[in-house]
Amino acid sequence: MEKSIEDIWKQGFLKSDALVAPKVNNLYSQKSMHIIDTFKRMFKINLIAIVVFSIAFLIATIFLGIPITGVMFFVTLTVLVIINKRLLDSLKKIDTGASSYEYLKSFNDWINQQVSINKKFATFMYPVIFLSMILGFWFKDAEGIPLGERLVGEVLKGFPDIYMVQGIPLIALIVILLIVGVLAFFGGRIYQWDLNIVYGRIFKKLKELMADIEELKE
Partner 1 sequence: MSTDFYTTSITPFSGIIIKLCRAYTNTQEDFEDYYQEVCLQIWRSKENFRAESEWSTWVYRISLNVCLTLLKKNKNNSELFASDSLLAEETEDNHAFADESLNVLYDAIRKLSEIDRAVITLYLEEKSYKEIAEIIGTNPNNIGVRVKRIKTRLKNILDGKIN
CA dihedral 24, 30, 32, 33 (to 10 degrees): -80
- What angle separates helix 100-138 from helix 147-158, to the nearest 10 degrees? 60
Applying CB under 8 A, the span of 115-123, 134-142, 171-179, 208-216 interacting with partner 1 comes to 208-216
User: Is 42 a residue that touches partner 1 (CB under 8 A)?
Assistant: no
Applying CB under 8 A, the span of 7-15, 71-79, 113-121, 146-154 interacting with partner 1 comes to 7-15
User: Is 157 a residue that touches partner 1 (CB under 8 A)?
Assistant: no
Count residues binding partner 1 (CB under 8 A).
Answer: 48
User: Is 24 a residue that touches partner 1 (CB under 8 A)?
Assistant: yes
Tell me how far apart the alpha carbons of residues 150 and 186 are, in angstroms, rounded to a whole number. Answer: 32
Tell me how far apart the alpha carbons of residues 60 and 84 are, in angstroms, rounded to a whole number. Answer: 25
User: Is 21 a residue that touches partner 1 (CB under 8 A)?
Assistant: yes
User: Is 3 a residue that touches partner 1 (CB under 8 A)?
Assistant: yes
Tell me how far apart the alpha carbons of residues 195 and 188 are, in angstroms, rounded to a whole number. Answer: 11
Cα–Cα–Cα angle for 88, 186, 182, nearest 5°?
A: 135
- What would the x/- binding string for partner 1 be over residues 79 to 98, using CB under 8 A? ----------------xxxx
User: Is 158 a residue that touches partner 1 (CB under 8 A)?
Assistant: no
Are 140 and 147 spatial neighbours (Cβ–Cβ below 8 Å)?
yes
User: Is 34 a residue that touches partner 1 (CB under 8 A)?
Assistant: yes
Burial of 2 (0-12, 13-18, 19+ CB in 10 A): exposed
- Which member of 51, 67, 71, 101 binds partner 1 (CB under 8 A)? 101
For partner 1, the closer of residues 12 and 153 by Cβ is 12
Applying CB under 8 A, the span of 33-41, 59-67, 77-85, 189-197 interacting with partner 1 comes to 33-41
Q: Which of 119, 120, 95, 97 is nearest to 107 (CA)?
A: 95
In DSSP terms, 141 is beta-bridged to 146
- Which member of 115, 151, 173, 209 binds partner 1 (CB under 8 A)? 209
Strand, coil or helix: what is 103?
A: helix
For partner 1, the closer of residues 141 and 205 by Cβ is 205
How many Å separate Cα 110 from the centre of its chain?
14
Give the residues lining the site for partner 1 (CB under 8 A). 2-3, 5-6, 8-9, 11-13, 15, 17-22, 24, 27-28, 30, 32-36, 38, 95-104, 107, 199, 201-202, 205-206, 209, 212-213, 216-218
